[in-house]
Structure 1
């Protein structure tokens, strides 16, 4: 589960960083606001990636998903991107748990 979740958060951090110039040039958001918000979310995504060994990492991951979707109120295309990444996040968690359960069942069966 952790590897899938870290992939999602890693790519999402890149997208969040790239949203900064979009917010400044397209949405006319002041750089003093856009930079801390977007780069802050990107750094939070990377921090969450590093903390995925604990529940804290997953909680921060959910915060990042909410923040990414929330950026849609400023840059409407972020509703689409934020929801896409939130969907990938949910899929990573669900599929990751299934993979872990299958591995445990396989180990119990063979060992």
Structure 2
């Protein structure tokens, strides 16, 4: 799960970073606000992508998703992009948990077969 979530965060950081000049040039947003808010969010997404092995970082990334969704209303069209990334995040969590469960079951089965072969 953590790997899928980290990948989503990296791509999200790129998109958030690319939204800064759009907010400034097309929407007339204050450069300090757009750069500070979304630049900070892009940096946080990159940092959190590398820290996904920690449970707190995973929950912090949920907060980042909400922040991106709410702040996306600064730029026309950005809410759609935010919805796509929140959806990717949710799908990454769901599919990642399924993969983790399958992997754990496979490892458990391999251990049981190894014990049967070793004990026979």
User: Which TM class, normalised by the smaller chain length?
Assistant: over 0.9
> Distance between the aligned counterparts of 1:20 and 1:61, measured in 2?
20
Give unmatched runs, 5+ long, in structure 1.
none
> SS of the counterpart of 1:53?
coil
Name which one, 1 or 2, has greater alpha-carbon Rg.
2
Output the aligned Cα RMSD. 1.0
Are 1:5 and 1:49, in contact at CA under 8 Å, matched by a contact in 2? yes
The one of the two structures with greater contact order (alpha-carbon pairs below 8 A, sep at least 6) is: 2
Which is further off, 34-43 or 60-69?
60-69
Following superposition, which runs of at least 4 residues in structure 1 exceed 4 angstroms of deviation? Answer: none
Give unmatched runs, 5+ long, in structure 2.
112-120
How many residue pairs match? The answer is 111
- TM-score, normalised to structure 2, is 0.88
- TM-score, normalised to structure 1, is 0.94
Q: Which residue of 1 aligns with 2:103?
A: 103
